[in-house]
Structure 1
Amino acid sequence: MPESTGVIHDIGYQRYTGPRLGRRHVFGALYLHGLRTIFGLGRSAKAKIFPWLVVGIVTLVAVIVAAVRSQIGEVLLTYAQFADSMSWLIIFFVAVAAPELVSRDLRSGVLPLYFSRPLPRGDYATAKLLALVTGLWLLLGGPQLVMFLGAAFTTDAGLRGVGDELLDLLPALLYAGLWAVVFASVGLLVASLTGKRAFAAGGIVAVFLMTMPIGGTLAILPSRTVNELAGLVSPSTLVMGVGTWALPDPPGADSGEGLMIGGFGPVYAVAAVLLVAACVTLLLLRYRKVAAR
């Protein structure tokens, strides 16, 4: 029997001779891609409709608030109240954005490709989480900046008035960041549990909206202590409770419609930190499990 021999054919492939970027660049690429995905950039026109509709709504509200203040001097919404008022829109924005960030990758089976490179499992989840936090903060902080510019350019107190507005804006931007961190942590964790975007979106909406009636029920019970702790059961009222405690001019303080937390402000703050920490930990464990399959 003749001995078989192998032949190597040169079909024109060339070795890569460019720079080999490391972990930091991979993380940055994932983060930027996630941020673009949130707002539909680089995707079809259909994918841009909802996120930019939300951007348009929140910006329009900010422009109206700024215009009313400049014309008649009435403050319809403070910077912090703006974040609270937009919370319903943010819930649905998270319900759409979070599944786009992680559920699509789970369903399409591309995670083994990500993890075949020198990319730690936690970097993938962290990059996606930071992208969602950034997107939500921009969604709230951008309109707040519009409101600030409207107030700064129409103030009668000169530089002193601009300084006062800036002192009001900065805590509100931190407050918007708290909304972003809590909502992104909870939303991304829920979305990471399924590869079906519709199920993920429904789960996110359910977590945020179904907990609110529970808190509302606890808030009308005869026990004052239970009333003041009722906001702990919902992510939305949890954030509002931290704002009521921490902000120098808490939302609803003037009208008496603010969240009643009594002396439990530090409890709300600790609960918010623990909620974020728990969600991030479970998210990292989730992707360690996915990568091990």
Structure 2
Amino acid sequence: MSDATGVIHDIGYQRYTGPRLGRRQVFGALYLHGVRTVFGLGRSAKAKIFPWLVVSVVTVVAAGVTAVRSQIGEVVMTYAQFADAMSWLVIFFAAVAAPELVSRDLRSGVLPLYFSRPLPRGDYALSKLLALVTALWLLLGGPQLVMFLGAAFTTNRGVRGVWDELLDLLPGLLYAGLWAVVFASIALLVASLTGKRAFAAGGIVAVFLMTTPVVGVLSILPSQTINQLAFVASPPTLVGGVGNWALGDRLTQGRGGMPIGDFGPVYAVAAVLLVAGCVALLLLRYRKVAAR
């Protein structure tokens, strides 16, 4: 009987001796990948068509507004009003971007792979949310910067005019951030419920569009209080109500704005609760997904 012998073959595998990155780097990588995904960067030409078409449209509108202002010497549209005017386009952008961020991962079944690493369950959801917020804010904030540069270079009041223009731009950027946070929170929550991108996109658009008639019904009821609170019922009008209260003439240009009465703080609280509720439900959703 011969003794059994084993042979170890060296097939070239080597141990990894480089740095082992931690939670912060994992979160940052997911966030950066999410922003690139929204704009189709690093993906096929087909994936770039819709996001960059939308970017082109909002940029052309901003350039047109700037050109008209330089010709007539009057403000045609404030920075905050630009965000309002582009809000419906942002809805459709979010309806396409959110499913790309989360529905694809659900459908392809890669979440167990993500969660097999030392990645907290909430970090995945929050990185995707932050990526979508950033993308929507850039979508509105980039054209606002174009409007600012056009106004700054054509002002006839020198440094004082540029400074005044900057003071108008900053609230506009904050208002764009509010649009981005509210829209991204709702869109990503809806998209996380299904792995089918078409269903997710349709669900996102439906959430925004189906709440609009509710505002119309409430605003014609024979109660002034209900009329003034009616705009809470739909996310776009809710954000508009917060803008009316917080920005005043920067948004309305003395044209009255939305009839919200003295309920501005109520609109602000409602917006905070809406975002907080969506984020909480999003985290709960991924806690259940990871537990499967």
Using structure 2 for the length normalisation, give the TM-score. Answer: 0.97
Aligned equivalent of 1:267: 266
Match of 2:279 in 1: 280
Contact 2:94 2:184 survives alignment (8 Å): yes
2:172 alignment partner in structure 1: 172
The alpha-carbon deviation at position 267 of structure 1 amounts to 0.2
What is the letter of the counterpart of residue 285 of structure 1? Answer: L
Q: Which stretch of structure 1 is more off in the superposition, 270-279 or 150-159?
A: 150-159
Code of the aligned partner of 1:50:
F
Task: State the aligned residue count.
Answer: 292
Corresponding position: 1:289 with 2:274: no
CA contact (8 A) 1:182 1:235 kept: yes
Choose 224-233 or 246-255, whichever is displaced more: 246-255
Deviation string 1:55-99 (CA, Å, 9 cap, x unpaired) is: 000000000011111111132211000000000000000000000
Cα deviation for residue 222 of structure 1 reads: 1.8
Matched, 1:134 2:134: yes
Q: What corresponds to 1:93 in structure 2?
A: 93
Q: Kindly tell me: are residues 238 and 245 of structure 1, through their superposed partners in 2, closer, same or farther at Cα, counting changes over 3 Å?
A: same
Distance, in Å, in 2 between the alignment partners of 1:60 and 1:141 is 14
State how 1:1-293 maps to structure 2 within 5 Å.
Answer: 8-256=8-256, 258-293=257-292
With structure 1 as the length reference, what TM-score do the two structures score? 0.96
8 Å CA contact 1:181–1:276 kept in 2: the answer is: yes
Partner Cα distance (1:171, 1:185) in 2 = 21
Secondary structure at the counterpart of residue 175 of structure 2:
helix
| CA distance in structure 1 between the partners assigned to 2:91 and 2:114 by the alignment | 29
The answer (yes or no) to whether the contact 1:190–1:203 under 8 Å persists in 2 is yes
Structure 1 gap ranges (5+): none
Letter in 2 for 1:118: P
SS of the equivalent of 1:251 reads: helix
Post-superposition shift, 1:248?
3.9
* Aligned counterparts of 1:159 and 1:88: Cα–Cα separation in 2: 35
User: How big is the shift at 1:7?
Assistant: 5.2
**Inter-CA distance 167–107: structure 2 relative to 1 (3 Å threshold):** same
Distance in 2, Cα, partners of 1:75 & 1:169: 13
> After alignment, is 53-62 or 66-75 more displaced?
66-75
Name the Cα RMSD after superposition. Answer: 1.4
Determine if contact 1:243/1:250 at 8 Å carries over to the other structure.
Answer: no
Percentage of matched positions with identical amino acids: 82
Deviation of 1:177 after TM superposition, in Å, equals 0.3
Over residues 190-242 of structure 1, what are the superposed CA-to-partner deviations in whole Å (9 max), with x where a residue is unaligned?
A: 00000000000000000011101111111122211111001111110000000
What amino acid is aligned across from residue 192 of structure 1 in structure 2? S
The one-character-per-residue Cα deviations of 1:124-174 (angstroms, maximum 9, x if unpaired) are: 001000000000000000101111111111111111111111111111110
